[in-house]
Amino acid sequence: MKQGRYEICLSGSGGQGIILAALVLAEAAGILEGMEVCQSQSYGPEARGGASKADVIISDEPIDYPKVLQPDLLLSMNQEACDTYFQYLKPEGLLVVDSSLVHQIPTNRVVAIPFTQIARKDLGKEGVANMVALGAVGVLSQIISPQSLEDALIRRAPKGSEDINRRALHAGIKEAQAINLKELPPFITSEEEEL
Amino acid sequence: MVERVLLKGNIAIAKGAIAAGCRYYFGYPITPQNDIPEYLSSELPKVGGTFIQAESEVASINMVLGASAAGARVMTSSSGPGISLMQEGMSYMAGSELPGLIVNVMRVGPGLGGIAPTQGDYFQATKGGGHGDYFNIVLAPASVQEMYDLAIKAFELSDKYRNPAMILCDAILGQMKEPVALEEAEEVTLEAKPWALDGSKGRKPQFLKTLYLSDGEQEAHNLELKEKYDRIREEEALFEGKGLGDCEIVVVAFGTVSRIVKTAIQMARKEGIKIGMIRPITLFPFPASIIRETAKKIPRIMVVEMNTGQMLEDVKLSIENGVKLGFYGRPGGGIPTPEEILKEIKVMLDEEGF
């Protein structure tokens, strides 16, 4: 794997399954791949609709500072989350957005995939958009094998939902594998800086 | 066999308690520690234990006192305002020499404050907290692994010295998830507690009490307690030392802050600045002698805390004259960044002409 500390921030709104996605990611990296991992989250008091954010730090060394400082990868599952957290992304970090819900994208260094639309139209269940996104995040981070993600998902998914979640994960993996990261600009640059 | 699992800090404490043979939990909900009662409410009955959500923190701690008096391994958990309500019961436990674990996942104060991480309850935890001349044994974990390990350790120390023990942590440690190595649970055999009030059939009746009215009786009791605290100070102080061999300055930090300091130490090494760290793992007993001895060799100490300077006082009492002592604190939910800590250390070294 990549050496050193890799910070992933998953953001969206309550009810989108952000925290479950983070948990599966942490389980895959920390338990199944045996790396060091530290996962934390913050969310509003609302059961649905409030802001939701989960941090996953993955490293091959012990993790001291337990919070994400500057994400290497930011997933934003809605516009508000993208607007709020984009500013913290590393200059060479990668933005991943749900293009069904994020329409104003602040950088060209972005992977835009319609996770929610794929979940609704192709899989028939909007609720698994988080797993579609997780599949893509796993591939784009380049530090976790799809197999570990799938195994972690089976361990953590609610009983009876394994199959639909597994299909969702693979839909996301397939989308991300079709993307060539080398074609993206190497740095995020805001429009103001370009002027 | 060691099993590696991804656990939230609060859950790790609860699992550690069960592994230690704790079978009784009495508590009242408060953020950010609710995972502990939530988990134990379903898990304790499975191992033959009892979970009760009491009507208040005052009731909780007195249930803990009662179960402990009957010889059980027992615990409660709370945060700031709830821990304050428990102080009377904790004083009674210390007075009647009853063991038990109290977990404080600190929240900011004073008053209702908020749920953000803090170390503002250091004084309350380490200086007794309730009325009377007593101390709690206080353990300060810095990782989810230690939340598990120190929960077990706390019960052992608590029983060994017949004294309440506290785990003092914050919302970061309580809420984050890390891999934890769990030893395969062995059958726990607890040492006999001949002082317990478990029915006097076949033996002489005995009692546990905190009221001493005859002349000199209370004083003798307090002196016995002091002798016990001195033994604890002598034998149980725990710390982690890092980079103390070749450093220019030593940071003293506990819990969450010690992790941030470690990152600052790494950043500093890249710039050629050598920083060491002493992390007290027990806050009572405070590891005073390692700090005193280290400061003789490296007479520059910086204390970093998430409060306005509480452990700072214990460090001051540990060192001798002539040691330069600095402090950096963020209270009220502020979390220092490694950059901030490094900057403060550099300022201190610059003043010294380094």
What is the average pLDDT score of chain B? 96
The pLDDT assigned to B2 comes to 82
Residues B303 and B271 in one domain: yes
Average pLDDT over residues A168-195: 86
pLDDT above 70 for A190: no
Quickly count: other Cβ atoms within 10 Å of residue B181's Cβ. Answer: 11
Strands A73-76 and A94-98 come out as parallel
Range of the domain at B263: 240-351
Picking from B235, B262, B287, the residue at the C-terminal end of a domain is B235
Model confidence at B3, in pLDDT bands (50, 70, 90)? confident
Q: In the structure encoding, which two tokens stand for residue B340, read together? A: 């901030």
Chain segment B221-233, per-residue pLDDT in tens:
999 999 999 999 9
Distance CA A154, CA A150 (A): 6
Chain mean position to CA A133: 6
The pLDDT assigned to A193 comes to 55
Strands B177-183 and B2-8 come out as antiparallel
Chain B positions with Cβ closer than 8 Å to A:
4-6, 172, 175-179, 256, 259-260, 262-263, 266, 335, 337-338
B109/chain A closest Cα distance in angstroms: 20
From chain A, the residues in CB contact with B176 under 8 A are: 38-40, 66
The pLDDT assigned to A191 comes to 54
Q: In the structure encoding, which two tokens stand for residue A135, read together? A: 């599949």
DSSP annotation of B59 reads H
The pLDDT assigned to A162 comes to 94
Average pLDDT over residues B309-325: 96
From chain A, the residues in CB contact with B263 under 8 A are: 64-65
Q: In the structure encoding, which two tokens stand for residue B22, read together? A: 């704790």
From chain B, the residues in CB contact with A19 under 8 A are: none
Residues B213 and B86 in one domain: yes
Chain segment A64-89, per-residue pLDDT in tens:
999 999 999 999 999 999 999 999 99
From chain B, the residues in CB contact with A65 under 8 A are: 259-260, 262-263, 338
| Site of tokens 């890249």 | B270
The pLDDT assigned to B234 comes to 97
Provide the chain A residues 13-72 that lie in CB contact (below 8 A) with chain B.
23, 26-27, 30-31, 34, 36-41, 63-67, 69
* DSSP-assigned letters across all residues of B1-28: -EEEEEEEHHHHHHHHHHHTT--EEEE-
The pLDDT assigned to A59 comes to 97
Q: Are B4 and B181 in contact (CB under 8 A)?
A: yes
Residues B22 and B96 in one domain: yes
**Which residue out of B31, B35, B144, B178 would a mutagenesis test of the A interface target, given it has the greatest number of A Cβ atoms within 10 Å?**
B178
DSSP annotation of A103 reads -
The pLDDT assigned to B68 comes to 98
Picking from B203, B235, B267, the residue at the C-terminal end of a domain is B235
Distance CA A110, CA A95 (A): 5
The pLDDT assigned to B132 comes to 97
pLDDT above 80 for A49: no
Angle between helices A146-156 and A162-177 (to 10 degrees): 160
Chain segment B55-102, per-residue pLDDT in tens:
999 999 999 999 999 999 999 999 999 999 999 999 999 999 999 999
**CB-based contacts of A47: which residues, under 8 Å, 6+ apart?**
A14, A15
CATH number at residue B280: 3.40.50.920
Q: Shortest CA distance to B72 belongs to which of B14, B184, B159?
A: B159
pLDDT above 90 for B243: yes
Average pLDDT over residues A150-154: 97
Residues B202 and B278 in one domain: no
CATH number at residue B170: 3.40.50.970
What is the average pLDDT score of chain A? 93
Residues B37 and B115 in one domain: yes
Residues B38 and B135 in one domain: yes
Model confidence at B186, in pLDDT bands (50, 70, 90)? confident
Average pLDDT over residues B278-297: 98
From chain B, the residues in CB contact with A39 under 8 A are: 6, 176-178
Q: Are B208 and B96 in contact (CB under 8 A)?
A: yes
The pLDDT assigned to A192 comes to 55
Q: What is the ipTM of this complex?
A: 0.89
Average pLDDT over residues B112-141: 96
Residues B194 and B244 in one domain: no
**CB-based contacts of B292: which residues, under 8 Å, 6+ apart?**
B318, B319, B320
Residue of A nearest to B265 (CA): A64
Strands B100-106 and B164-170 come out as parallel
pLDDT above 60 for B109: yes
Average pLDDT over residues B284-301: 97
> Which of B6, B176, B266 is the closest to A66 by Cβ?
B176
> Was domain A5-183 assigned CATH 3.40.50.10140?
no
B339/chain A closest Cα distance in angstroms: 11
The pLDDT assigned to A109 comes to 96
Average pLDDT over residues B133-160: 98
Model confidence at B264, in pLDDT bands (50, 70, 90)? very high
pLDDT above 90 for B187: no
